[in-house]
């Protein structure tokens, strides 16, 4: 798969990760990953960052290199991915993540009409989902917000706004049916939990369109054959102190939905 470079200087690399590409190997399947691409194209950063240990079949542990990768995106999520080109920058960027100094913006299509957030000076009119997240008791791959989650629970906060509400039909009667109703949202995770936006949108009964883990009995929709989640932009401080915002153009499948249903 082709990886686009959105921004690069001597310390930082911001990539446009395509959907379907994992950030790093999982030890279970052979696939091209962002880590593989980085080691091929930027071999000098091979040992930058922090490797991770994964458990393979049979309980054997394997060390996986994550060359300069500061954070991660789910395999089906497209968009901006931040990479450090040296260890000093990696630690500098990691500190921003840990102290919630980075601003990340995601775009997503979700099932149903999301209720308009209540106007509030405290939230700037954004909706706020402030519910801790833990592992699901039913599915080892999944996470759950609030009750039913396995301890330990971790604080998780997601803010959002509604960009548009629309239907996938022109039929006046069908438009009133929730099965034909969707919302286009922008989400702002204030914490960085695994699957956070996906779990929180499910928690408010508006799972992300075509989410393989959290959509429940809902069908794939809007022609989206993958999780309809895109990491739209990231704002962070460069080592020089300059504040930098990098955006990822909406992918083709997102543009197609917007053209077909929102134009």
Report d(CA 231, CA 164) in Å as an integer.
18
Measured at the CA of 35, the angle between CA 10 and CA 59, to 5 degrees, comes to 140
Could you tell me which of 139, 50, 83, 102 has the C-alpha nearest to residue 235? 102
The pLDDT of residue 163 is 97
Which alpha helices (H) appear in 123-230, and where do they start and end? 196-203
Question: Which residues participate in catalysis according to the annotation?
Answer: 74
pLDDT digits (tens, 9 = 90+) for 23-56: 987 766 567 899 999 999 999 999 999 988 776 6
User: 141-150: per-residue pLDDT in tens?
Assistant: 899 998 889 9
Residue 62, pLDDT score: 79
**Residue 6 DSSP SS3:** strand
- Contact indicator for 254, 14 with CB cutoff of 8 Å: no
Which are the contacts of 34, defined by CB distance < 8 A and separation ≥ 6?
Answer: 3, 15, 17, 21, 22, 23, 24, 69, 81
pLDDT of residue 194: 94
Contact 135, 150 (CB under 8 A): yes
Residue among 84, 80, 82, 74 at smallest CA distance from 22: 74
Q: Mean pLDDT of residues grouped by 10 in the chain (263 residues)?
A: 93 97 76 92 95 72 88 96 98 95 97 87 83 93 90 95 96 92 97 96 98 96 98 98 98 98 92
Token match 């995770």: residue?
189
Report yes or no: 239 and 88 within 8 Å, Cβ to Cβ: yes
Q: Of 259, 180, 195, 191, whose CA–CA distance to 229 is shortest?
A: 195
Q: What's the pLDDT score for residue 121?
A: 62
Q: Kindly report, residue by residue over 119-154, the tens digit of the pLDDT.
A: 666 677 899 999 999 999 988 889 999 888 999 999
Burial of 30: CB neighbours in 10 Å, binned 0-12, 13-18, 19+: exposed
Report the pLDDT value the prediction gives residue 122, as an integer from 0 to 100.
64
CA pseudo-torsion sign 12, 83, 134, 204: positive
- pLDDT, residue 31, reads 74
Structural domains for the chain: 1-99 (3.30.2350.10), 104-231+252-263 (3.30.2350.10)
CB-CB contact of 248 with 259 (8 Å): no
Give residues with Cβ within 8 angstroms of 67, minimum separation 6: 35, 38, 39, 42, 45, 46, 47, 48, 49, 83
* pTM of the shown model: 0.93
Q: How far apart are CA 166 and CA 182, in angstroms?
A: 5
């Amino acid at each position: 798969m082709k990886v686009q470079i959105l921004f690069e200087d001597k310390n930082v690399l911001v990539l446009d990760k395509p959907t379907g590409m994992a950030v790093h190997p999982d030890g279970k399947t052979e696939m091209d990953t962002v880590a593989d691409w980085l080691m091929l194209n930027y071999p000098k950063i091979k040992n930058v960052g922090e490797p991770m240990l994964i458990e393979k079949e049979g309980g054997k542990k394997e060390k996986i290199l994550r060359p300069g990768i500061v954070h991660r995106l789910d395999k089906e999520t497209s968009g901006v991915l931040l990479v450090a080109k040296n260890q000093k920058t990696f630690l500098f960027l990691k500190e921003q993540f840990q102290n919630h100094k980075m601003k990340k913006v995601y775009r997503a299509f979700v099932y149903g009409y999301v209720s308009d957030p209540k106007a509030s000076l405290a939230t700037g009119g954004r909706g706020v989902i402030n519910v801790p997240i833990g592992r699901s008791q039913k599915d080892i791959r999944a996470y759950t917000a609030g009750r039913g989650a396995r301890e330990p629970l971790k604080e998780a906060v997601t803010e959002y706004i509604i960009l548009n509400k629309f239907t996938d039909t022109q039929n006046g009667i069908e438009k009133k049916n929730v099965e034909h109703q969707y919302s286009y949202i922008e989400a702002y995770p204030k914490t960085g939990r695994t699957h956070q936006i996906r779990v929180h949108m499910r928690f408010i009964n508006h799972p992300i369109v075509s989410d393989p883990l959290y959509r429940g009995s809902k069908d794939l929709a809007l022609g989206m054959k993958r999780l309809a989640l895109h990491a739209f932009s990231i704002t962070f401080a460069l080592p020089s102190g300059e504040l930098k915002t990098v955006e990822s153009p909406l992918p083709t499948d997102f543009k197609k939905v917007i053209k077909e249903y929102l134009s």
